[in-house]
Structure 1
Amino acid sequence: MNFFKKLFGGGDSSADDYLENVQLEVNEEHIHYSNEIYWITKKVGDMMELMNEAMSKQDYDEAESVRLDWLKLVDIARDELDEVGDFKGNSYLLDSAIKYLHSYKTLLENGYKKLIELRKSGNKGTPEEQKQLKENNEDIALFTEIFNDSVDEFVAKYDSNGDFIDSSFENPFLEQAKNLNTSTNPLFEPIHGISLQDYAKIAYFMANGGTAADVCKILNIEMPVFDEANALWLKRMTEDKTFMVSMKYAEYFGQAGQNNKFLNFKNGNDNSSDDKNKFLKRLENDEEFYYELMGAREAAYDFGLDGASWIEKNFGIGLGEFQNIAMKWMQKTDKINEMLAHKEAKYKEYYLKLSRENNESVTDDIQF
């Protein structure tokens, strides 16, 4: 664990041995709690040494016995986590530890079972066996790093006195936009009959595949009229030194996916597949899923793909739809650090997924 290595001053190679003989002498309850979770999960990770020994001896019956004992230990550790429970209502580290154990169990039931069978049948060194070994190593590296990060993240949530650090904040610009009185302000007068709210809905519509020609048809106006209205709204936002127009536009754009007559024209009220509707509904109601897709999109970009197009291809969610829902989650900040950590974990998972799909390695092979 990164945090415990830092706490005791141990290096990467000596930290575990050092921890075996050290008792925490700190008063912070969250540190004691972290330590308790750590020792439960450490017992599971320590089984790797027994597996390595069996594999090195090419005793695959022993390796299978270790695998089965390892699975039993995972279940025992899971029960111990249930006994420990959350920390004063904060289940972040507990949930992370449970996911860590679940990842190990999945690996033991699948990846390690297959690896042992391949080697036992004389296939050590074959492309299939090497591929399985590489995937096992990558999975362990991934879920171990994610859990290590969660320990650091949990500890960082508390100050030196053990008090929870509230990292939430309110966006003053969005709050100000909600309270703006636009009825008597000439900056908010419609342009050629197009209000600022309509303009935001048009922008959302066009971000999701609509065209200027569609807009003109819906509003029954000529293209030059629309072009001028578009240019003048942009000019107002650019020249408004108070940023009131821009702030109100951002608020309207965040609501543009609802009751949007332009979208109804394009979609005929039923253009989306069941899967797309399911993902959209989940994105709107599940904060963790929103940050998961944020991580997935970033991973796709870093892998050299168009992240927005990748999200649309795999989840059916267009850029405009995604950005519209993002406006909602950007205003919710009570769990921002936790959600950013979740996003980072999902980034690593999706990057590994993309690497495997493209037959690229993200970790060095580890030979037993």
Structure 2
Amino acid sequence: MEINGITFENWAAASANIANGMSIEEVCQILRIEIPVWEDTNTQWGEKLADLMTSDMNMAMKYGEIFQNPKVGKFANVGETVSMDDVLKKVPDYDTFMKITMHQSKATKVGLDAGTIIAEYGLTLQQWGQVGMHYSSWVKDKIHEENATPEEMEMFNDSDKKWAAHFEDFYKEQEANLGEDIDF
């Protein structure tokens, strides 16, 4: 299946590479299309993926796999690949993962860009996605498959609470009240 001559695999790889910092111009050059064709293709594939996922969750899994490793199709030999081991050096444990997660969450509530926060930790959006999948699987394994101990459950909860409180305090002076000038 193709949209504007672009396969699902190439669209997913292009999307992942854009999230990883590749310019749309470079993506279009690799796909040998013009920017308006990319924009239309991207919109259509995004809508198609939503439809496909309602009937077959394997498409979401495939998209996630390509997003984690976009070295497929026309992007197979493009750019450098950062290994998961290298990414995990930046986010070596669950506590660090929660620190970044809560930083991003609280920062967006005061109008800051989540991607900028992620970049402050030396991560691309693609790498952050990889880290998120890694720790989601790790937590699932710990809690559901290994029957986490009370101490481990406390560690999960304490980390969440600690970083939420830290960044709540950090951004307390920057809270946005978009309706403060509206009288009812």
TM-score band, normalised by the shorter chain?
0.5 to 0.7
Q: Map 1:64-143 to 2 at 5 A.
A: none
CA–CA distance in 2 between the matches of 1:239 and 1:304? Answer: 31
Distance 1:350 1:282, change over 3 A: farther
CA contact (8 A) 1:205 1:263 kept: no
Give the deviation of 1:294 after TM superposition: 0.9
CA contact (8 A) 2:104 2:117 kept: yes
1:206 aligned to which of 3, 6, 18: 18
Give the deviation of 1:295 after TM superposition: 1.9
Distance 1:347 1:230, change over 3 A: same
Q: Kindly name which structure, 1 or 2, has the bigger radius of gyration based on alpha carbons.
A: 1
* Post-superposition CA distance 1:199-224 (Å, at most 9, x none): 22222222233333221201223445
CA–CA distance in 2 between the matches of 1:286 and 1:227? Answer: 38
1:327 maps to 2:133: yes
CA–CA distance in 2 between the matches of 1:214 and 1:259? Answer: 15
CA–CA distance in 1 between the matches of 2:29 and 2:158? Answer: 46
2:161 aligned to which of 333, 344, 349: 344
CA–CA distance in 1 between the matches of 2:132 and 2:163? Answer: 17
Structure 2: runs of 5 or more not aligned: 144-152, 174-184
CA contact (8 A) 2:24 2:35 kept: yes
CA–CA distance in 1 between the matches of 2:63 and 2:3? Answer: 16
CA contact (8 A) 2:67 2:126 kept: no
CA–CA distance in 1 between the matches of 2:93 and 2:45? Answer: 34
Q: Give the aligned residue type for 1:248.
A: M
Matched residue SS, 1:316: coil
CA–CA distance in 2 between the matches of 1:297 and 1:264? Answer: 32
Q: Give the aligned residue type for 1:339.
A: F
Q: Give the aligned residue type for 1:215.
A: V
CA contact (8 A) 1:303 1:354 kept: yes
CA contact (8 A) 2:13 2:70 kept: no
CA contact (8 A) 1:204 1:253 kept: no
2:96 aligned to which of 289, 296, 310: 289
Partner of 1:299: 106
Q: Give the aligned residue type for 2:101.
A: M
CA contact (8 A) 2:90 2:122 kept: no
Matched residue SS, 1:198: helix
* Post-superposition CA distance 1:127-162 (Å, at most 9, x none): xxxxxxxxxxxxxxxxxxxxxxxxxxxxxxxxxxxx
CA–CA distance in 2 between the matches of 1:284 and 1:322? Answer: 9
Q: Give the aligned residue type for 1:305.
A: L
CA–CA distance in 2 between the matches of 1:263 and 1:209? Answer: 16
Structure 1: runs of 5 or more not aligned: 1-188, 359-368
Give the deviation of 1:326 after TM superposition: 1.3
Distance 1:207 1:232, change over 3 A: same
Q: Give the aligned residue type for 2:63.
A: Y
1:256 maps to 2:67: yes
CA–CA distance in 1 between the matches of 2:53 and 2:118? Answer: 36
1:226 aligned to which of 35, 38, 43: 38
Distance 1:224 1:307, change over 3 A: closer
Give the deviation of 1:331 after TM superposition: 3.1
CA–CA distance in 1 between the matches of 2:40 and 2:171? Answer: 44
Distance 1:264 1:286, change over 3 A: farther
Distance 1:232 1:308, change over 3 A: closer
CA–CA distance in 2 between the matches of 1:284 and 1:258? Answer: 18
Give the deviation of 1:297 after TM superposition: 1.7
Superposition RMSD in Å:
3.7
Partner of 1:164: none
Higher relative contact order (CA 8 A, sep 6+): 2
TM-score, normalised to structure 2, is 0.62
Give the deviation of 1:322 after TM superposition: 1.1
